[in-house]
Amino acid sequence: MISDTVAVVEYYVIKKPIEFISNLFNEYNELKDVYDENKILREQLAAYASVEVNTNVLSNEIDDLKKALDLKELTTDYNVKTATVISRDASNWTNEITIDLGSMAGVKEDMVVVASKGMIGKVTSVTEVSSTVQLLTAEKPVSDLPVQIMNGDQNAYGLLKGYDVESKCYEVTLLSNIDKLEPNANVITSGLGGDQKAPKGIYIGVAEGMDVSSDGTTKTLKVKPAEDFSDLTYVSVVFRGNNNE
């Protein structure tokens, strides 16, 4: 009887606490194993996400390059050289870009620069290996751009004066009269204005509306850009003739 009592006391005083601590230790180890496995899984998921992002970026760049390379020859007496955008300042995002073609490649000031869908700007300064391109979305454009509006059977002419940030449209002051703006009227470069202006036939965008001044003397078109300026990776510089001169 006494031995049974001693056994009970021994179990609850000595063995039971040891079992409790042992169980706690085992549970801790199991939880630690689960934590470590979850950590490894999280790292693997993060690595997979990183690879997926990099793959998407490379895929997009390849698509952009294919589009740029596909623009081998314009519908005018001009051809192009493909360039990569190597710099774009965040504080100057809508104004200019820097490309990796310069005077050694034959690039000169006032040359037109296009992307896969249409004109994006003009070269404003050149070094041996790079050039600065002022975008058509610049706050203070260097000069007006002569354009042609293909308004149904009627061709009209105007000057691209600048870019309106709120409407995200170019503003084109009409030089020719348009009584009614046809839907989806395409706007291209007119080729007027001499060598320092853009060659004829380069796509600019689509006219979306027309504003008339209070005195009725000035008509201004709102033109939606053909190109997406938010993501420029590969562009092309327009050269005269077949010898890139």
Length, in residues, of the chain: 245
Question: What average pLDDT does the segment 2-19 reach?
Answer: 54
Contact assessment for residue 172 and residue 194, using Cβ atoms and an 8 Å cutoff: no
Largest CA distance in the chain: 120
Structure tokens given for 119: 């004109």
For CA atoms 207, 211, 215, 216, the dihedral sign is: positive
Residue owning tokens 């002419």: 157
Residue owning tokens 């060598």: 195
**What confidence tier does 131 reach under pLDDT thresholds 50, 70, 90?**
very high
* Mean of per-residue pLDDT scores for the chain: 79
Which residues are bridge partners to 169 per DSSP?
164
Q: Output the CA torsion 57→61→63→64 (10° steps).
A: 140
Reply yes or no on whether the pLDDT at 222 is more than 50. Answer: yes
Reply yes or no on whether the pLDDT at 26 is more than 80. Answer: no
**What confidence tier does 133 reach under pLDDT thresholds 50, 70, 90?**
very high
Q: What is the pTM of this model?
A: 0.69
pLDDT digits (tens, 9 = 90+) for 92-115: 899 999 999 999 999 999 999 999
Reply yes or no on whether the pLDDT at 180 is more than 50. Answer: yes
Q: Output the pLDDT for position 72.
A: 46
Q: Output the pLDDT for position 122.
A: 95
Question: What average pLDDT does the segment 59-68 reach?
Answer: 56
Question: What average pLDDT does the segment 74-78 reach?
Answer: 58
Reply yes or no on whether the pLDDT at 189 is more than 80. Answer: yes
Question: Cα dist. 132→124, 150, 240 in Å?
Answer: 6, 31, 19
CA atoms lying within 13 Å on the CB side of residue 65: 7
The topology (CATH level 3) of 77-244 is: Thrombin, subunit H (2.40.10)
Reply yes or no on whether the pLDDT at 242 is more than 60. Answer: no
- What's the rounded Cα separation, in Å, for the pair 237 and 111? 7
Between 230 and 44, the higher pLDDT residue: 230
- What's the rounded Cα separation, in Å, for the pair 146 and 193? 7
Q: Output the pLDDT for position 51.
A: 44
Reply yes or no on whether the pLDDT at 40 is more than 90. Answer: no
**What confidence tier does 201 reach under pLDDT thresholds 50, 70, 90?**
confident
Contact assessment for residue 170 and residue 205, using Cβ atoms and an 8 Å cutoff: yes
Q: Of 99-103, 132-136, 178-182, which gets the smallest average pLDDT?
A: 178-182
DSSP H/E element including 28: helix 16-70
Residue from 229, 153, 190 nearest 76 by CA: 190
pLDDT digits (tens, 9 = 90+) for 160-173: 999 999 999 999 99
**What confidence tier does 73 reach under pLDDT thresholds 50, 70, 90?**
very low
Contact assessment for residue 98 and residue 132, using Cβ atoms and an 8 Å cutoff: yes
Between 66 and 148, the higher pLDDT residue: 148
Contact assessment for residue 147 and residue 204, using Cβ atoms and an 8 Å cutoff: yes
Between 87 and 191, the higher pLDDT residue: 87
Reply yes or no on whether the pLDDT at 28 is more than 80. Answer: no
